[in-house]
Chain A
Amino acid sequence: MVRDRTLEEEYRIWEEERYGRDRSASFTTLSDHAVKPLYSPLDTSPESFPLDIGWPAEFPYTRGIYGNMYRGRLWTMRQFAGFGTARDTNRRFHYLLQHGVTGLSVAFDNPTLMGIDSDDPRSVGEVGRTGVAIDSLADMEVLFDGIPLDQVSTSMTINAPAAVVLAMYVAVGEKQGVAPEELTGTLQNDILKEYIAQKEWIYPPAAGVKLIVDTVEYTIEHMPKYNPISISGYHIREAGSTAVQELAFTIADGMTYVEACLARGLDVDSFAPRLSFFWNSHIDFFEEIAKFRAARRIWARLMRDKYGAGNPKSWLMRFHTQTAGVSLTAQQPENNIVRTALEALAAVLGGTQSLHTNSMDEVLALPTEKAVEIALRTQQILAHETGVVNTVDPLGGSYFVEALTDDMERGALDYFKRIDELGGVLPGIDAGFFQRELGDAAFHYQRQLERREKIVVGVNEFVTSAPSDIPVLKIDPEVERSQIAGLTELRTRRDDEHVSAALARLQSAAERGDNVMPFVLDAVRAYATVGETSETMKRALGAYREPAFV
């Protein structure tokens, strides 16, 4: 058929003749991005295939970082878990491994995240509540009891005290006869998003970044298979950001780490291939897929063109994804199984390397074993039943998905400009820029819910009064007592002189600005606690206190 009209004319005629009346005045994504009624070749340029889309495993990696993606290897099914004592969590790890998880992921309790011991007065009521309580190497030994660290990769969600926990992991490996060179896994170790969103900090931001560079330097030398940072958008999104803000702020954090490592004198290709990312998969299906695809493209361009990385492995954005905790509802909680399944599907269509699926009851408490099993089975159904893994980037070339991917990239670049104008991420944190952006977005969304401009089933529409009767996991208060008893016993059993000497050496190293890792390792091997080690470094590096603003 010969065309006698341009595409633009055809679109106009289609709109006039074929398009009916909308049931709503506007259609927007969860992040309030306007969505057009129809996408067509008009929304992409003829150059977009070679320049922006391309082939999987080729620059700019929009379609995925591996040539055959899930036809080669499925994503790692990595369920985040941790509660009570190290013994409790070790049992849950064994349960998960028996049911087919292919990687572990440790959730630490609040005292551990803040670098505080279980017997500190500030820890009362918090020990083992939202993760596992770890006070010293003795707890880590129990946590990984019967789990061969040369065979199971482990991700650890720890930030402010990340150097200490990494050292403990290395020390547990030593006890198992596994050299650091053989350890695989990921340390979250992303302190910038703590100041922006998650708010579990110890030291001021610049000192926090310095410690991260220390761990990067250490792992380059001693742990070539280990990912020293997981640059995380997850918490930024949970704290209320839009998809574009999650994308932009996280990659801006990533650039800050790259620049700090370069300033240390590290070669970009020595560390960039070991950087990894961690994204949220929220409920707006296509927006999330576009976000993942844009993220890979932005990072590849930055690493190659801005930072001059020559090794193609440096250009790859490898990432973990977790479904959105904040999308779950306490009302009719069984519906959360469906939400999680859709979010997980978006992550898979977006090309994730590993995935955590939330359990339906996590909006109420830590998950029960049954709920965790359903969440894991959700991933297995996606992988083995749905067929979505059979081809690489099945949505590539979709007019809508490609246009939305472009929009995401543009939105992120706009934010990079604004962050540059503020002087970078650290000055942005000091000025409260990110915190305010998140607060505004969260408040805006809450208002939309209340005006019912956005609908959440069971919350502001299709509400039922039936109380939920799903079982909830309770943490026995005995956990706190037994954890403190164990810690007290450790303090009497260990060689205190050895501990004090190691801590004194650590403090001097931190004051001199040396890489603290070898000193932290010595302290940890002597069974210095997380609290003692963090307190020691705080004397050298200072403490952070956030200015309170609403």
Chain B
Amino acid sequence: MTEGRVRVLMAKAGLDGHDRGVKVVARALRDAGFEVIYTGLHQTPEQVVNAAVQEDVDAIGLSLLSGAHMTLFPRILSLLAEQDATDIRVFGGGTIPDDDVQSLKALGVAEIFTPGASTVDIVEWVRTHVGESAVSGR
């Protein structure tokens, strides 16, 4: 169970109340053997990053269906940089148009899953891109 050590913070930031997706992904990751922490709704970027650092997670999975992704993802990336925690990978999902997906990846978001993504693919991505087993691949 090397994956048992991989910790993922699943997060909802901003005022968005859509939590169907984040909960489905959290369960799928947990079922796959990862340790999953869920922030609950309506978190500020500061709260998300503080939780990630305190919980010593390997990745933050941010769910956004509010259209605020171009504000909240960059804010979280810069707060991680301020806290010297850029080893925490940030991935995400939600209603995010293609153009914005490209911009967010350029800013340092590792991956974005858009509507229709399979949890099988998300689990596989986390397995290969997050945590110690993935370090050599980075």
Contacts and interface: CB of A to CB of B under 8 A. Distances in A.
B20 A442 contact: yes
A472 to B, nearest CB: 5
B95 A365 contact: yes
A34 interface: no
Contacts of A366: 67
Interface stretch (B33-41, B54-62, B84-92, B103-111): B33-41
B70 A125 contact: yes
24 contacts: A113-B15, A113-B17, A114-B15, A124-B71, A125-B71, A199-B18, A238-B20, A239-B19, A326-B20, A329-B116, A330-B115, A439-B24, A443-B24, A443-B27, A446-B24, A450-B119, A456-B116, A458-B116, A460-B118, A472-B97, A546-B41, A547-B40, A550-B23, A550-B38
Contacts of B26: 550
Interface string B112-131: 00111011100000000000
Given A110-B14, A198-B17, A126 B39 contact: no
B15 A475 contact: no
Contact of A126 (B10, B41, B66, B120): B66
Given A240-B20, A365-B97, A111 B15 contact: yes
Nearest to A129: B67
B61 to A, nearest CB: 12
A544 to B, nearest CB: 10
A2 to B, nearest CB: 57
A406 B1 CA distance: 49
B120 A450 contact: yes
Given A110-B15, A439-B23, A472-B97, A125 B41 contact: no
B46 to A, nearest CB: 10
A324 interface: no
What 9 pairs across the A-B complex have the smallest Cβ distances?
A: A125-B71, A548-B40, A199-B17, A129-B67, A110-B15, A125-B68, A330-B115, A459-B116, A550-B26
Contacts of A125: 14, 68, 70-72
Interface residues of A, number: 48
A123 B68 CA distance: 9
A198 B20 CA distance: 10
B44 interface: yes
Nearest to B99: A472
Given A239-B20, A475-B67, A200 B98 contact: no
B3 interface: no
Contacts of B75: 124
Given A122-B15, A198-B17, A548-B38, A446 B95 contact: no
Contacts of A546: 40-41
Nearest to B17: A199
Contacts of B24: 240, 439, 442-443, 446
Given A110-B16, A239-B20, A472-B97, 14 more contacts: A110-B66, A110-B68, A111-B15, A113-B15, A124-B68, A125-B14, A125-B68, A194-B17, A199-B41, A326-B20, A331-B116, A443-B24, A548-B40, A550-B30
Contact of B119 (A200, A439, A446): A446
A116 interface: yes
A121 B14 CA distance: 10
Given A439-B23, A546-B40, A550-B36, A126 B14 contact: yes
Contact of B67 (A114, A126, A329): A126
A31 interface: no
A268 interface: no
Contacts of B97: 364-365, 472
Interface string A126-140: 100110000000000
Interface in A226-258: 238-240
Contacts, number: 108
Contacts of B10: 550
Contacts of B99: 472
A438 B24 CA distance: 10
Contacts of B66: 110, 126, 129-130
Nearest to B73: A125
A467 B98 CA distance: 9
Contacts of B14: 110, 122, 125-126
A111 B15 CA distance: 7
Given A200-B17, A450-B120, A363 B27 contact: no
A220 to B, nearest CB: 30
A449 interface: yes
A329 B71 contact: no
A126 B44 CA distance: 12
Contacts of B28: 443, 446
Contacts of B16: 110
B118 A363 contact: no
A169 B119 CA distance: 44
A549 B18 CA distance: 14
Contacts of A459: 116
**Of B24, B26, B28, B38, most A-chain CB atoms within 10 Å:** B24
A129 B68 CA distance: 7
Nearest to B116: A459
Interface string A535-550: 0000000000111111
Contacts of B71: 124-126
Nearest to A201: B17
Contacts of A450: 118-120
A52 to B, nearest CB: 34
Interface string A415-459: 000000000000000000000001100110010011000001011
A445 to B, nearest CB: 9
B34 to A, nearest CB: 12
Nearest to B67: A129
Contacts of B40: 545-548
A110 B42 CA distance: 11
A366 B115 CA distance: 15
A533 B124 CA distance: 47
Contacts of A123: 15
